[in-house]
Chains A and B, each alone.
Chain A
Amino acid sequence: MSSPVVHAHHAPEGFIRRYVFSLDHKVIGIQYYFLGLFSVFIGMFLSLLMRYHMVNPTVSVAWMAKLWPTAAAGGVMTPELYLSLMTMHGTIMVFFVLTTVPQSGFGNYMLPIQIGAEDMAFPVLNMMSFWTTFLALVVMIAAFFVEGGAPLSGWTAYPPLSAAGRVTGPGEGMGQNLWILSIAIFCGASLMGAINFISTTVDLRCKGMTLMRMPLTCWTWLVTAILGLLGFAVLLAAGVLLLLDRLAGSSFFLPAGMMISDRILADHKGGSPLLWQHLFWFFGHPEVYIAILPGMGVTSQLLSTFSRKPIFGYKAMVYAILSIGFLGFLVWGHHMFMSGMNPYSAMAFATLTMCIGVPSAIKTFNWLGTLWGGKIHFTTAMLFALGFVSLFVTGGVSGIFLGQPALDLYFHDTYFVVGHFHMIMGVAAIFGMFAGTFYWFPKMYGRMMNETLGKIHFYLTFIGVYCIFTPMHYLGIAGNPRRYSAFTDVEYLGGLIPVHQFMTYAAYFTAAVQLIFVVNLFWSLMKGPKAPVNPWNATTLEWTVPSPPPFDNFAGVHPVVNHGPYEYSVPGAASDFIMQTDPPSAVPSEH
């Protein structure tokens, strides 16, 4: 339980200290959010270029030649440029969007308020972690502008492709160095953030805020931080080793007897390409949960709020989050069934992988249980939370195919995998972010977002993402390998091009409707109607403070928590929600 830690700091004066190098967790949360928003549009733009190229591999586009005078000379994208865009799309989306917004954005802003703290435990560390992330993004984008362009080894950067240097392809020179450097910087930033989140949750909870009274969002931020602490530490080490292989002539990942385009690599021996895969996926699988857990937390919070019901099975939800966190570290080998690792270990990884499906199934069941018997209010935020459940199911069930080594014999590295992880780690997580945006916007900016625009945006996006990503499963079944820049050379892929065309149109459509969101966001920021303290009649602590909250969140008052986080529709109570800070007498004595 928290002791009254005194770390209060006064509201700073001056623009720089207030909005740029701010120590306020709320400002930092917003900075992270906008860094993610900037990144997601870059990532989306790259994906549109890729989708265009895949179905028009020989068509010349004048402005593309202007953007990339060498890599798209004559306006036609080269295969290496395609792979660079793919690498950067994946990297930017995974690290600078999916890792950044749900955890560092919303988590930074809401965690301290939801547990009744004035700020994060280490405000300076918090500021440093944002600016370090910013630096990582700058270094990452710089990779586009160096000789050879951005790397082409994918976001997974498997050596030897990523380790042997410029000989393996354009982009594998300075571009790949910057990529690794950026990831290493990002790891540092994430470690700082993780320490801060864990300390804050452990130490700064207000009086009465026991662990089992924390909103599920706080549980997911806590477990995500633990995953980040353990995962990014390993990725950082792996990145340093990869950089040493490239720059210092070491051989962690490079074996003897290699020959690349007629040149024997005599200087390397004793390394193992599989070592990288083990290290990378030891981080990489927990990373999937880093992206999706906060979305699960937001969804739980919203389903309860807008169906006016307590969350179904709060304890089971907490245990599910904890076991996802724990098991998340034991399943990395399912990315490596085809890698040449010992095939017996595949059985262990497969069994553990099926086990991690269980807590995910529990969560789905409990979400339906929460809605059952409720009085559902269809706000835009709620629609996105419901959409999250649908996408989570669709993206989750395809994992039951991929988790079996036997079936992975065919599906590994096909579009089936691409469909699976885009659905669950990409789109479901992004729906979690949209849900969080519509839900917390009034608190963060003191204004309401436009519900009509919100709903139009929701429905069009929901249909759009299904049209982009579910056909990928059919392509996988037909044996379409991923990471192909064109489908011109393998004969059987020719028959699948119409499916790709459909997905490309769906991608254009879905990207276009995101403009509705942008308009809504910026219009509401400036002109949205003023938000009350508690527009959703919700129960958690952020809805007890003004919108937006004052600098120290609770204006010098130390909140005291008397109730669990989801006390909706308590029989006999005066209203259909009991705030966490309401006096104990708010609950009629017979309950």
Chain B
Amino acid sequence: MLLAPVVWALTVGVAYFFFAKTWWFPPPINQHGVAYDAQFMRTLVVVGVIFILAQFALGYVIVRFRNDGRGRAQYTHGNNRLETLWTSATALLFLSLVVMGTKIWAGVHFDEAPPDAIPIEVLAKQFSWSFRYAGPDGKFGHIDLKLVNDSAGNPFGLDDKDPASKDDIVSASLKVPVGKPILLRMNSRDVIHNFFVRELRMKQDIVPGMEIPIHFQADQIGIYEVPCSELCGLGHFQMRTTMQVMSVADFAAWQQQMLAQK
């Protein structure tokens, strides 16, 4: 019998922190993030109602139907109508949630990146990140694994002999202009890594042997952390970089500055 108040108290305790939002998402920085949060809240309402109702019902039957030593329990083998009703209601509810979320998933994965999206190559390796921009010529230069030299600042293996390589910019952190579509082409050199930006509400595994594209737009200037989110070895917890969202002018200036340093 003591179990009922314990279950209720734990339920209230668990639910409290969802209401209080003590530990929560950072604010989203694009439309996708806003839609994501709406879908999360819809699901939270459905799940919250099921969770609280089920736990309270459990506590209720524990109190109400404890053995009082009088008479016998009800003799019933169930109720098919209730069973059907319950089954279809749950199925409908669960499936509608998936359907409602489809648009968000489609926006990330089914829609192509807009043609004017800025392409950036991402290279993940144990345990650091590199980003490559095509530079003023708009062309990525030829790369070769044999030319890779991390200590000389050439993680991609850029081929100096290719003229298109001359103006490629390589950076250890991601810089993007605000409000412009961005296309990341992601590659891993060794094991599986994962690109995750909380504020974008987006993550994607980076798998060796596959070039995986993702596209997004960031509408809020700021610096956001990128923690590796797929186990990649002993330095996994240190494999961190940042994504800096800059004004269009600052982004252009940064590119100029990087080119000047070459």
Contact = CB atoms under 8 A, between A and B. Distances in A.
A340 B83 contact: no
B179 interface: no
B231 to A, nearest CB: 4
A405 B240 contact: no
A83 B238 CA distance: 13
Interface residues of A, number: 116
A338 B204 contact: yes
A154 B231 contact: yes
B78 A258 contact: no
Q: Bin the interface of chain B by size.
A: 35 or more
Given A258-B208, A354-B98, A374 B203 contact: no
A522 interface: no
Interface string A349-376: 0110011011001101110110111111
A170 interface: yes
B65 A307 contact: yes
B10 A401 contact: no
A316 B61 CA distance: 21
Interface string B88-128: 00110011011001101100111000000000000001100
A273 B90 contact: no
Contacts of A390: 7, 10, 55, 58
Contact of A487 (B125, B209, B210, B237): B237
B161 interface: no
B150 A413 contact: no
A308 B90 CA distance: 28
Given A308-B72, A383-B3, A403 B209 contact: no
Contact of B148 (A262, A314, A484): A262
B47 interface: yes
Nearest to B46: A400
B29 to A, nearest CB: 13
B236 interface: yes
B207 A273 contact: yes
A412 B24 contact: no
B6 A386 contact: no
A512 interface: no
Given A406-B102, A413-B194, A459-B2, A401 B77 contact: no
A481 B196 contact: yes
A365 B240 contact: no
B23 A316 contact: no
A344 interface: yes
Contacts of A383: 3
B203 A410 contact: yes
Interface string A383-398: 1001101100110011
A160 B110 contact: no
B77 A314 contact: yes
A485 interface: yes
B40 interface: yes
A163 to B, nearest CB: 9
B207 A274 contact: yes
A401 to B, nearest CB: 6
Contact of B86 (A362, A378, A487, A492): A362
B66 interface: yes
A490 B91 CA distance: 40
Interface in A490-528: 490-493, 496, 499
A409 B225 contact: no
A489 B237 contact: yes
Interface stretch (A15-23, A26-34, A110-118, A568-576): A568-576
Given A410-B201, A486-B237, A314 B10 contact: no
A406 B208 contact: no
Interface string A146-164: 0000001110001011001
Contact of A338 (B76, B83, B148, B203): B203
A357 B94 contact: yes
Given A261-B126, A354-B97, A376-B67, A386 B72 contact: no
B192 interface: yes
A132 interface: no
Interface of B: 1-3, 6-7, 10, 13-14, 17, 22-26, 36, 39-40, 43-44, 46-47, 50-51, 54-55, 57-58, 61-62, 65-68, 71-80, 82-83, 86-87, 90-91, 94-95, 97-98, 101-102, 104-105, 108-110, 125-126, 145-146, 148, 150, 189-192, 194, 196, 198, 201-210, 212, 225, 227-238, 240
What are the 5 closest A-B residue pairs judged by CB atoms, nearest first?
A255-B209, A373-B74, A406-B101, A343-B109, A313-B78
23 contacts: A79-B234, A258-B190, A258-B209, A264-B145, A308-B73, A309-B74, A313-B79, A339-B205, A362-B83, A371-B62, A376-B65, A383-B3, A390-B55, A397-B47, A400-B43, A400-B46, A404-B98, A406-B102, A410-B202, A412-B203, A481-B228, A485-B234, A492-B198
